[in-house]
Amino acid sequence: MVSRLFGFLLLVVLAVLACSQLVSADGRFLENGLLPAVPVPPDNPQTDAKVRLGRQLYFEKRISLDNTIACATCHDPEHGWADPRPVSEGVGGAKGGRNSPTVLNSAYLGVQFWDGREPDLEHQALGPLQNPVEMKMTMPMVLERLKSLAGYVDQFKEVFGTEPNDQGVAKAIAAFERTVISSNSPYDRYLQGDHSAMSASAVRGMNLFRGKAHCMACHSGPNFTDSRFHNLGVGYKDGKFADEGRVAISKRRQDTGAFKTPTLRSIDLTAPYMHDGSETTLEGVIDLYAKGGIKNPYLDRLVTPLHLSKQEKADLVAFMKALTGAPLDIKPPELPQ
96 in contact with ligand HEC (CB under 6 A): yes
79: Cα separation from own chain's centroid: 14
- Our CB check for ligand HEC shows the closer of 69 and 318 to be 69
Of 337, 326, 328, 325, the residue nearest 51 (C-alpha): 328
Using CB under 6 A, which of the segments 71-79, 158-166, 184-192, 195-203 binds ligand HEC? Answer: 71-79
Residue pair 186/322 in contact (Cβ under 8 Å)? The answer is: yes
Minimum Å distance from CB 106 to ligand HEC?
Answer: 4
Contacts for 276 with CB less than 8 Å, ≥ 6 apart: 86, 87, 97, 98, 99, 234, 235, 242, 243
267 in contact with ligand HEC (CB under 6 A): yes
Q: Cα(272)–Cα(279) distance, rounded to whole angstroms?
A: 6
> Rg for the chain (alpha carbons), in Å?
22
Of 117, 130, 246, 268, the residue nearest 202 (C-alpha): 268
Termini Cα distance of the chain = 78
Residue pair 323/267 in contact (Cβ under 8 Å)? The answer is: yes
Using CB under 6 A, which of the segments 14-22, 29-37, 113-121, 158-166 binds ligand HEC? Answer: 113-121
Minimum Å distance from CB 274 to ligand HEC?
Answer: 4
Minimum Å distance from CB 336 to ligand HEC?
Answer: 17
265 in contact with ligand HEC (CB under 6 A): no
299 in contact with ligand HEC (CB under 6 A): no
288 in contact with ligand HEC (CB under 6 A): no
222 in contact with ligand HEC (CB under 6 A): no
Minimum Å distance from CB 54 to ligand HEC?
Answer: 9
Q: Contacts by 276-280 with C-beta closer than 8 Å and gap 24+?
A: 276/86, 276/87, 276/97, 276/98, 276/99, 276/234, 276/235, 276/242, 276/243, 277/85, 277/86, 277/87, 277/98, 277/99, 278/86, 278/234, 278/235, 279/234
Of the residues 77, 86, 90, 168, which one makes contact with ligand HEC according to CB under 6 A: 90
Q: Cα(299)–Cα(179) distance, rounded to whole angstroms?
A: 36
The type of residue at 52 is R
Q: How many residues bind ligand HEC, per CB under 6 A?
A: 51
Q: Cα(279)–Cα(84) distance, rounded to whole angstroms?
A: 12
Of the residues 35, 51, 74, 142, which one makes contact with ligand HEC according to CB under 6 A: 74
- Our CB check for ligand HEC shows the closer of 181 and 232 to be 232
107 in contact with ligand HEC (CB under 6 A): no
Q: Cα(33)–Cα(221) distance, rounded to whole angstroms?
A: 6
155 in contact with ligand HEC (CB under 6 A): no
201 in contact with ligand HEC (CB under 6 A): no
- Our CB check for ligand HEC shows the closer of 129 and 175 to be 129
Active-site residues, by number, are 134
Binding characters for ligand HEC, 114-153, by CB under 6 A (x = yes) = xx-----x--xx--xx----xx------------------
Using CB under 6 A, which of the segments 139-147, 183-191, 255-263, 321-329 binds ligand HEC? Answer: 255-263
Chain contacts with ligand HEC (rule: CB under 6 A) = 69, 71, 73-75, 88, 90, 96, 98, 100-101, 103, 106, 109, 112-115, 121, 124-125, 128-129, 134-135, 173, 213-215, 217-219, 230, 232, 234, 259, 261-262, 264, 267, 270, 273-275, 282, 285, 289, 300, 302-303, 316
